[in-house]
Amino acid sequence: MIALGRLDHLALLGVLFEQVQVPELVLAECLARPDRPDAQRIRDAVAAGVLVPCDARPVVVAGLDDGERAAIGRAIEIHAGLLVDDLAARHHALSIGLVAVGTLGVLVQAKRKGLVTEIRPLIDRLRASGQRLSHAAVADALGAAGEPG
C-alpha cells in the first residue's frame, strides 16, 4: 500500500478488487510517518472507503513482522487474496495456498484493464523513491504488461 500511495494510485485497488480489507496493524505501520505523502494518501483512501480497516488475528510465523502476520491471518480468515511485497511473507502465503499479489502485480492488472497506459514510468518512480525491486521481478512485470524490458 505504501508503494501505491507513493504513486498516488491507491484508487486502483478499489477498481481491481471487490474490497480491500486492511488490518489495523498494517494501517499503523503505513501511517507511522504521518508527514509523508503516501501516509496522507492512505488516510484519504480509508476515508473514501477504498481501504477498509479491520481486525485480524495474526498467524504465528517466525521472521515476519506484525503487519504481515496480521494480513496473512486476515486473508486466511476471509478466504481472500493477499497484497504483499515482502518476499518472505509472499513465500509463506503461497506455501499455504493463498493467492498473493504485490505492487508490480497490481500495476500489471491495471495495465491489462486499461487503467494505466504504461507501468515502466511507475516502476521508475518507485525505484527513485527507494523501493527495492529486483531486476527479475521488473522484467517479469514488464513482460506480463507487454512492455519492452
125, three cell numbers: 518512480
- Rounded Cα distance, 25 and 2, in Å: 14
For residue range 36-81, list pLDDT tens digits in order. 999 999 999 999 999 999 999 999 999 999 999 999 999 999 999 9
Torsion angles phi and psi, residue 59, rounded to 5: -80, 160
DSSP one-letter code for 113: T
pTM: 0.93
Average pLDDT (14-34) is: 96
Instruction: Reduce the secondary structure of 93-110 to three states and give it as a string.
Output: HHHCCCCEECHHHHHHHH
| CATH code, residues 2-144 | 3.40.50
How many other CB atoms are there within 10 angstroms of residue 125's CB atom? 15
Which residue ranges make up each domain of the chain? 2-144
